[in-house]
């Protein structure tokens, strides 16, 4: 047998695209590095289940790496590291680059909020001697997934005098947990006939929080009273203090390895901490980059990037303008010469549900970070759609730094769709494209990613920050 390639084989080799598999492309040493990187990521996941906790963790990591609070009007030299904490719920970090700021910045932008159940302003009630919290779900969820799973309560209660009480119950092994009950199959005949969207109703996502009456009394609402007594003793709060609170119900379990080969991570809130953490770590590792590098960790992406901590507000452009003024520049000029990786997840191809993706343009677990040129729905509606020119720059950059990467669309045409913060950053006249980690079971209480894809996202962010 000749080992020479036929003309067709040679041409095929030259001309056809070759999808890389990170698990095959990486050396054992790189796989070890990826696994090590992901140990840090899993600690971050467990410590930061809400946007506030993610900001706290990120600020602590940044300060430990020499970042100081940004001061408007101050002058900064190359290599200096600053951060701007927006109300404890969003964060911008910057490392001043070698080149003049007038040449633009490199921005990585990820979000640190995840789908969850928020307590209503008036959440506490008793029904048939059981006490509950009423919730209003936050972000896109499949409601049935949030029943019969152990839940924790995180957040803050701010009293009228301004005192902030922090709440975190359900994370320690010794802590109690909470749960939303579901019907037994024996009595679920009509529920099982409902659609999956209707089987569990949003108004029924009520969290079970107690069952013992105060003082064994038969008085009305004595179970509720007992809960309120416990909350008063523990937090010094009264019922109306729930009005000024942000209490978030999240899964109580911790991140863990998935698979006999430990190649994947199962956890709550990969979307989008799985991009926020690599983007943050890349910036912490970016020593005096060429261009000033920014990392933005935003809130409220899951409900449309709204509010003053979401990226559809001015907090990013105000920061860049303030920074530009320090250098005697106009913020608009800096923004219009900037580039951004909108670091967000994409849906990984799921062999159990192949029909919702178009295989030639889907992202796959273990094929590296995924560049998503556009998101949107029904004819690219609502997406910023990265330009051919910027796509060319990004793919050259990734190939030049041995990043294993792939492209992906968010599902089949007209199957559904979604969006990211990309369009809000692009709206500031910044060249922007989505890059992140493919996720299985996205938006479920327990999502799955590949460790190699997480690591490749870090490598992509670092290459982007440094160039
Ligand atoms: Mn996301
Ligand atoms: Mn999401």
Print the SS3 string covering 258-310: ECCCCCEEEECCHHHHHHHHHHHHHHHCCCCCCCEEEEEEECCHHHCCCCCCC
Ligand 1 center to 280 CA (angstroms) = 16
Instruction: Say which ligand is closest to the CA of 140.
Output: 2
The answer as to whether 146 is a domain residue is yes
User: 440: domain CATH number?
Assistant: 3.40.630.10
How many angstroms does the Cα of residue 76 sit away from the middle of ligand 2? 35
* Mean pLDDT value across residues 443-447: 98
Query: What ligand is nearest to the CA atom of residue 275?
Result: 1
User: Domain count of the chain?
Assistant: 2
- Dmax over CA atoms of the chain, in Å, equals 92
Q: The tokens of 397 are what? A: 């950059």
Rounded Cα distance, 457 and 346, in Å: 12
- Do the domain assignments include residue 123? yes
Q: Which structural domain range is residue 305 located in?
A: 17-114+268-466
pTM for this prediction: 0.97
User: Do 317 and 456 belong together in one domain?
Assistant: yes
Angle at the Cα of 420 (from 447 to 70), degrees rounded to 5? 100
What ligand is nearest to the CA atom of residue 436? Answer: 1
The residue among 251, 277, 304 that closes a domain is: 251
Same domain, 433 and 297: yes
- The pLDDT score that the predictor gives to residue 1 is 54
Q: Which residues contact 286 (CB under 8 A, 6 or more apart)?
A: 95, 293, 462, 465, 466
pLDDT digits 0-9 by tens, 39-84: 999 999 999 999 999 999 999 999 999 999 999 999 999 999 999 9
Is residue 236 scored above 90 in pLDDT?
yes
* Ligand in nearest proximity to the CA of 112: 1
Which of these three, 251, 277, 295, is where a domain ends? 251
Rounded to an integer, what distance in angstroms lies between the CA atom of residue 365 and that of residue 454? 10
Give yes or no: residues 206 and 124 share one domain.
yes
Cα 108 to ligand 1 centroid, rounded to whole Å: 14
Measured CA to CA, the distance from residue 33 to residue 113 in angstroms comes to 27
Closest CA to 297 of 437, 155, 139, 92: 92
Tokens of 155: 């957040």
pLDDT in tens, 285-306: 999 999 999 999 999 999 999 9
> Do 219 and 164 reside in the same domain of the chain?
yes
Is 80 exceeded by the pLDDT of residue 181? Answer: yes
363 vs 344: CA distance, rounded Å? 13
Residues, CB within 5 angstroms of ligand 1 (ion): 271-272, 344
pLDDT in tens, 18-39: 878 888 889 999 999 999 999 9
The DSSP code for 456 is H
Can you read off the two tokens belonging to residue 201? 């109703």
Question: 187 and 160 share a domain?
Answer: yes
In this structure, of 18-32, 85-99, 177-191, 200-214, the range with the lowest mean pLDDT score is 18-32
Tell me the DSSP string of 215-235. Answer: GG--STTHHHHHHHHHHHHHH
How far is the centre of ligand 1, averaged over its atoms, from the C-alpha of 345 (Å)?
5
User: How many Å lie between the centroid of ligand 2 and the Cα of residue 300?
Assistant: 10
**Same domain, yes or no, for 211 and 288?**
no
Establish if 211 belongs to a structural domain: yes
Same domain, 158 and 298: no
Same domain, 199 and 343: no
The per-residue pLDDT for 455 is 98
pLDDT in tens, 313-361: 999 999 999 999 999 999 999 999 999 999 999 999 999 999 999 999 9
Look over the chain and give the mean of its residue pLDDT values, rounded to a whole number: 96
Q: Are residues 82 and 162 in the same domain?
A: no
Q: Nearest ligand, CA of residue 343?
A: 1
């020479």: which residue's tokens?
Answer: 4
| H-assigned helices in 143-262 | 189-193, 196-199, 222-235
Partnered with residue 448 across adjacent β-strands are: 266, 440
With respect to residue 12, please indicate whether it lies within any of the assigned structural domains.
no
Q: How far is the CA of 112 from the centre of ligand 2 (A)?
A: 10
Cα separation, 420 vs 346, whole angstroms: 10
CA distance 35 to 39: 6
pLDDT 10s digits, 383-431: 999 999 999 999 999 999 999 999 999 999 988 889 999 999 999 999 9
Query: Is residue 215 predicted with pLDDT exceeding 90?
Result: no
Q: Would the pLDDT of 2 be above 70?
A: no
């Amino acid at each position: 047998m000749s080992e020479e390639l036929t003309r067709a084989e040679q041409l095929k080799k030259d001309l056809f695209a070759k999808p890389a598999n990170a698990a095959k492309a990486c050396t054992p040493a790189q796989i070890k590095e990826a696994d090590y990187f992901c140990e840090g990521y899993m600690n971050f996941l467990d410590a930061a289940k809400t946007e506030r906790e993610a900001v706290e963790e990120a600020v602590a990591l940044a300060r430990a790496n020499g970042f100081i609070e940004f001061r408007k009007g101050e002058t900064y030299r190359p290599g200096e590291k600053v951060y701007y904490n927006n109300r404890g719920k969003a964060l911008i970090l910057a490392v001043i680059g070698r080149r003049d700021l007038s040449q633009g910045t490199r921005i990585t932008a990820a979000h640190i909020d995840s789908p969850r159940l928020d307590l209503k302003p008036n959440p506490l009630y008793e029904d048939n001697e059981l006490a509950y919290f009423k919730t209003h779900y936050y972000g896109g969820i499949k409601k049935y997934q949030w029943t019969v799973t152990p839940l924790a309560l995180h957040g803050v209660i701010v009293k009228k005098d301004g005192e902030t009480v922090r709440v975190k119950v359900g994370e320690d092994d010794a802590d109690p947990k909470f749960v939303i009950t579901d019907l037994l199959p024996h009595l679920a005949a009509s529920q099982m006939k409902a659609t999956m969207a209707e089987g569990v109703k949003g108004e029924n996502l009520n969290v079970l929080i107690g069952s013992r009456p105060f003082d064994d009394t038969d008085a009305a609402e004595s179970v509720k009273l007992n809960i309120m007594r416990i909350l008063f003793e523990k937090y010094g709060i009264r019922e109306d203090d729930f009005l000024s609170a942000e209490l978030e119900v999240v899964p109580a379990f911790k991140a863990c390895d998935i698979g006999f080969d430990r190649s994947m991570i199962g956890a709550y809130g990969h979307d989008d901490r799985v991009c926020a953490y690599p983007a943050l770590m890349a910036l912490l590792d970016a020593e005096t980059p060429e261009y000033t590098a920014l990392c933005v960790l935003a809130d409220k992406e899951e409900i449309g990037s709204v509010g003053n901590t979401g990226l559809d507000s001015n907090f990013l452009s105000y920061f860049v303008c303030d920074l530009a003024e320090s250098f005697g520049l106009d913020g608009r000029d800096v923004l219009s010469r900037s580039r951004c990786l909108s670091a967000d997840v994409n849906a990984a191809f799921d062999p159990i549900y192949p029909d919702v993706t178009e295989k030639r343009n889907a992202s796959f677990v273990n094929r590296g970070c995924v560049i998503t040129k556009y998101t949107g729905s029904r004819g690219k509606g609502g997406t910023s759609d990265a330009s051919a020119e910027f796509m060319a720059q990004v793919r050259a950059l990734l190939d030049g730094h041995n990043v294993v990467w792939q492209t992906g669309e968010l599902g089949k045409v007209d199957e559904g769709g979604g969006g990211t913060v990309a369009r809000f950053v692009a709206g500031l006249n910044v060249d922007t494209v989505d890059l992140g980690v493919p996720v299985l079971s996205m938006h479920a209480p327990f999502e799955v990613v590949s460790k190699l894809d997480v690591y490749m996202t870090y490598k992509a962010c670092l290459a982007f920050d440094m160039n």
